[in-house]
């Protein structure tokens, strides 16, 4: 009901949409090859249950758009993450006859939209899938007169991640739990489930952890399977199915579409149809995770496996190293209600044994949580309620364990040490704050050792010196909390800018990974902010030259073209979406905003990609962003106004944006070399006076 009311409110406030946002989403974006690692699964906002096809061959999410052979349908996947993905649990395959090996599912046609997926096969079988929160529905169509069976593989998972399972059958129901390895095999998650057929079922074993369901020889040729997942218990999953017992497939599908519209309509854009389609397809990707894992009454499983209860919804399913730059800051601005639950959920990890990767008792698939402390600092400074004092000692313990063994680790650990210093300052612990600030500023010793001398022959190689998926050129900019100090080490603002020029002129930038995502914004901290305006537009909407991929192929086969495309091969080769990280980068850039330094509530400005954007940042007043003199190829800001007053700085605070109002940009073909140069915002690692 909350989603329906929200959608009704939004459609009244913004009645000019020719199409709903959901109608503009292409769920097949990024579903072919290593160009996003996405799937067309029927999903629901922030739901750990997503029903989708399992193909052969497959990518990280179990699906390849070009594949014709289907293995069946599974219930979980972590969209766009690395290694070999996570999920792919509880496979269901519709079959003709008693031998699953004799039924080949060859794709004939398929269609999908947010919350719905369907496919028909050459043998006459058809499948439809739809979902709600924790709940899903399969509907299988069999040829008339055919012998109908369902094959279930309880051990199926992506990347051979199955650990163990227990199950029981009773009449037309199957229930139990499954444990599988998380992404990169760093931990284990357990999912409880309850599955129920709408026809009498005869269950027989078909192998280890495999079942065959024989369906009646007569009767309807259409079979429905209702299934629910829970992180708490089988009883909770069963209760979810029972609550949906009288809800039809069509009603669930409509509710999923309304839920997606309610979320997507919080950011409304007006511009070219192709850009709008790309925008909403990427915003849709941004809203897949983290997952809501608590039950309606607040019970949930903590990451140590214990049963807990919360007064507010609890989330899990993290990829923070990837998406702390973009996705989580976007939530903090455009999805404040959800973020008010996400931030405390992240803080709550510290109470139950948080690790950089997953624990052995996760309530959902998850990846990694490095820089969680930065996100918590960012949340508190933006006005979100987070109990930092209650986890103070755990934060300190984490920072004491940080890894400085490689050059990139040294810079990233210093960022976390800085965040701890800032948090301790908020908690009025001046002595410890000073201690960890000094520890953070020791990054300069590491930087001078490995990142200052750019004449060494390995500075453009991937990998080198133990760096993780990045080069010396790319990691040397990764000091977002102290750009002023970075400029000083390079010889001042002009030298800093000249080295940025060399970095981008040499095509050393790598948008296929997150290692240098902040680099294009750094001209905003110089006297030439217009160069960042040009770069952000080029990376989002124009042709790029890309040498670096995650397979170290510089000099072999550079890519020349657009990075973001509304097609199955949507991104650069080897470029994962990384749980909304890269799609949120596009969404923010298209809105003309980008966090200057996560942990500081400041956004740098670039020219938006649309004539008008409306973000429902607050309950009463949206933030309206307009572009005068708009043209699709224009990329420079000639002037700007905030609520009718001239805006001469190239940045705004979170408080200014979250208050709503009207932000107007005047677009130009040529840069205004004076706009945004008088009051630059430059991050400094020093304590504020």
pLDDT of residue 218: 73
Going by C-beta distance under 8 Å and a sequence separation of 6 or more, which residues neighbour residue 66?
32, 568
Count the helix, strand and coil residues of the chain and give each as a percent rounded to the nearest 5.
30, 25, 45
Cα(530)–Cα(540) distance, rounded to whole angstroms? 16
Q: Tell whether the model's pLDDT for residue 160 goes beyond 80.
A: no
Taking the model in full, what pTM does it have?
A: 0.96
Q: Tell whether the model's pLDDT for residue 4 goes beyond 60.
A: no
| Contact between residue 190 and residue 178 where contact means Cβ atoms under 8 Å apart | yes
Please report which confidence band the pLDDT of residue 556 belongs to, taking 50, 70 and 90 as the band edges. confident
Cα(447)–Cα(451) distance, rounded to whole angstroms? 5
Residue 335 Cα distances to 45, 134, 328, 580, angstroms: 12, 21, 10, 14
Mean pLDDT of 471-496: 98
Angle between the N-to-C axes of helices 430-441 and 392-400, in degrees from 0 to 180, rounded to the nearest 10 = 30
pLDDT of residue 689: 53
pLDDT digits (tens, 9 = 90+) for 571-589: 998 899 999 999 999 999 9
Cα(117)–Cα(110) distance, rounded to whole angstroms? 8
pLDDT of residue 527: 97
Q: Tell whether the model's pLDDT for residue 447 goes beyond 50.
A: yes
Local structure of 302: helix, strand or coil? coil
Phi, psi of 515 (to 5 degrees): -65, -30
Going by C-beta distance under 8 Å and a sequence separation of 6 or more, which residues neighbour residue 62?
39, 52, 53, 54, 55, 74, 77, 85, 87, 88, 158
Handedness of CA 4, 7, 11, 17 (dihedral sign): negative
Residue 115 Cα distances to 342, 411, 580, 609, angstroms: 22, 41, 17, 27
Pairing of strands 661-668, 623-628: parallel
Mean pLDDT of 473-502: 98
Please report which confidence band the pLDDT of residue 166 belongs to, taking 50, 70 and 90 as the band edges. very high
Q: Give the helix ranges, DSSP H, for 382-466.
A: 392-400, 407-426, 430-441, 443-450
Cα(533)–Cα(356) distance, rounded to whole angstroms? 34
pLDDT digits (tens, 9 = 90+) for 264-313: 999 999 999 999 999 999 999 999 999 999 999 999 999 999 999 999 99
**Strand blocks (E) in 215-314:** 222-230, 267-270, 291-292, 299-301, 307-309
Q: Tell whether the model's pLDDT for residue 552 goes beyond 50.
A: yes
pLDDT of residue 463: 85
Cα(444)–Cα(402) distance, rounded to whole angstroms? 17
| Contact between residue 198 and residue 223 where contact means Cβ atoms under 8 Å apart | yes
Q: Tell whether the model's pLDDT for residue 16 goes beyond 60.
A: no
> What rounded mean pLDDT belongs to the chain?
94
Q: Tell whether the model's pLDDT for residue 686 goes beyond 90.
A: no
pLDDT digits (tens, 9 = 90+) for 123-148: 999 999 999 999 999 999 999 888 99
Closest by Cα among 11, 607, 623 to 334: 623
Please report which confidence band the pLDDT of residue 10 belongs to, taking 50, 70 and 90 as the band edges. very low
Please report which confidence band the pLDDT of residue 688 belongs to, taking 50, 70 and 90 as the band edges. low
Cα(687)–Cα(689) distance, rounded to whole angstroms? 6
pLDDT of residue 11: 46
Local structure of 576: helix, strand or coil? coil
Greater confidence, 8 or 577? Answer: 577
Report cis status (omega within 30 of 0) of the bond before 57. Answer: yes
Please report which confidence band the pLDDT of residue 15 belongs to, taking 50, 70 and 90 as the band edges. very low
For the ranges 1-15, 108-122, 314-328, 405-419, the lowest mean pLDDT is seen at 1-15
CB neighbours of residue 427 within 10 Å: 14
Q: What residues form DSSP beta bridges with 368?
A: 319
Q: Tell whether the model's pLDDT for residue 327 goes beyond 80.
A: yes
Residue 306: exposure state from Cβ atoms within 10 A (0-12, 13-18, ≥19): exposed
pLDDT of residue 18: 72
CB neighbours of residue 496 within 10 Å: 22
pLDDT of residue 12: 46
Query: How long a stretch of residues is the chain?
Result: 689
Cα(612)–Cα(304) distance, rounded to whole angstroms? 46
pLDDT of residue 528: 98
Q: Tell whether the model's pLDDT for residue 380 goes beyond 80.
A: yes
Pairing of strands 210-214, 559-561: unpaired
Which contiguous run of DSSP H or E holds residue 7? helix 2-13
pLDDT of residue 550: 76
Residue 670: exposure state from Cβ atoms within 10 A (0-12, 13-18, ≥19): exposed
Mean pLDDT of 227-231: 98
| Contact between residue 140 and residue 54 where contact means Cβ atoms under 8 Å apart | no
Angle between the N-to-C axes of helices 483-490 and 493-505, in degrees from 0 to 180, rounded to the nearest 10 = 90
Q: Tell whether the model's pLDDT for residue 38 goes beyond 50.
A: yes
């Amino acid at each position: 009901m909350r989603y329906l009311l929200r959608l009704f409110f939004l459609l009244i406030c913004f009645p000019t949409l020719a199409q709903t946002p959901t109608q503009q989403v292409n769920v097949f974006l990024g579903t072919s090859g290593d160009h996003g690692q996405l799937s067309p699964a029927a999903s629901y906002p922030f739901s750990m249950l997503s029903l989708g096809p399992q193909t052969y061959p497959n990518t990280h999410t179990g699906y390849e758009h070009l594949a014709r052979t289907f293995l069946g349908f599974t219930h979980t996947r972590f969209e766009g993450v690395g290694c070999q993905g996570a999920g792919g649990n509880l496979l269901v395959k519709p079959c003709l006859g008693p031998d699953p090996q004799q039924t080949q599912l060859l794709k004939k046609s398929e269609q999908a939209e947010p919350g719905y997926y369907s496919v028909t096969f050459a043998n006459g079988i058809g499948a439809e899938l739809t979902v709600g929160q924790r709940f899903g529905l399969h509907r299988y169509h069999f040829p008339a007169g055919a012998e109908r069976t369902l094959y279930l593989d309880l051990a199926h998972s992506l990347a051979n991640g199955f650990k163990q399972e227990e199950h029981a059958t009773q009449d037309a129901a199957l229930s139990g739990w499954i444990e599988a390895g998380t992404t990169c095999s760093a931990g284990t998650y357990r999912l409880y489930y309850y599955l129920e057929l709408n026809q009498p079922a005869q269950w027989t074993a078909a192998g280890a952890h495999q079942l065959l369901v024989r369906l009646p020889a007569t009767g309807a040729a259409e079979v429905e399977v209702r299934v629910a997942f829970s992180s708490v218990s089988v009883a909770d999953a069963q209760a979810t199915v029972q609550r949906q017992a009288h809800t039809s497939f069509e009603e669930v599908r409509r509710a999923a579409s309304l839920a997606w519209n309610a979320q997507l309509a919080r950011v409304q854009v007006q511009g070219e149809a192709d850009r709008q389609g790309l925008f909403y397809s990427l915003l849709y990707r941004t809203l897949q995770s983290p997952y809501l894992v608590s039950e309606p009454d607040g019970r949930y499983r903590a990451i140590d496996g214990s049963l807990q209860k919360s007064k507010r919804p609890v989330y899990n399913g993290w990829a923070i190293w990837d998406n702390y730059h973009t996705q989580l800051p976007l939530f903090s601005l455009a999805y404040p209600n959800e973020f008010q639950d996400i931030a405390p959920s992240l803080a709550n990890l510290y109470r139950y044994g948080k690790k950089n990767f997953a624990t052995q008792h996760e309530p959902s698939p998850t990846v990694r949580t490095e820089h969680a402390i930065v996100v918590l600092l960012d949340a508190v400074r933006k006005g979100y309620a987070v109990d930092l004092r209650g986890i103070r000692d755990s934060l300190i313990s984490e920072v004491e364990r940080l890894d400085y063994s490689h050059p990139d680790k040294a810079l990233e650990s210093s960022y976390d040490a800085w965040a701890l210093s800032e948090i301790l300052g908020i908690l009025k612990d001046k002595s410890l704050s000073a201690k960890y600030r000094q520890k953070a500023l020791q990054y300069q010793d590491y930087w001078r050792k490995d990142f200052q001398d750019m004449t060494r022959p390995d500075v453009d190689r991937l990998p080198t010196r133990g760096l993780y998926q990045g080069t010396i050129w790319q990691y040397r900019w990764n000091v977002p909390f102290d750009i002023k100090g970075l400029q000083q080490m390079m010889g001042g603002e002009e030298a800093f800018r000249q080295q940025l020029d060399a970095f981008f002129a040499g095509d050393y930038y790598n948008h296929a990974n997150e290692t240098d995502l902040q680099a294009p914004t750094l001209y905003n901290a110089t006297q030439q902010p217009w160069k960042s305006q040009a770069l952000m537009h080029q990376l989002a909407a124009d042709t790029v030259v890309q040498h670096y991929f995650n397979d170290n192929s510089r000099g072999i086969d550079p890519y020349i073209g657009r990075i973001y495309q509304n097609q199955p091969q949507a991104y650069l080769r080897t470029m994962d979406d990384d749980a909304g990280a890269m799609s949120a980068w596009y969404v923010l850039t298209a809105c003309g905003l980008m966090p200057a330094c996560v942990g500081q509530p400041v956004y740098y400005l670039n020219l938006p990609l649309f004539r008008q954007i409306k973000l429902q940042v607050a309950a009463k007043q949206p933030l309206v962003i307009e572009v005068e003199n708009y043209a699709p190829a224009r990329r420079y800001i000639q002037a700007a106004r905030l609520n009718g007053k001239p805006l001469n700085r190239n940045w705004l605070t979170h408080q200014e944006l979250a208050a709503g109002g009207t932000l107007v940009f005047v677009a130009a073909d040529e840069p205004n070399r004076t706009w945004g140069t008088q009051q630059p915002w430059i991050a400094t690692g020093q304590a504020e006076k």
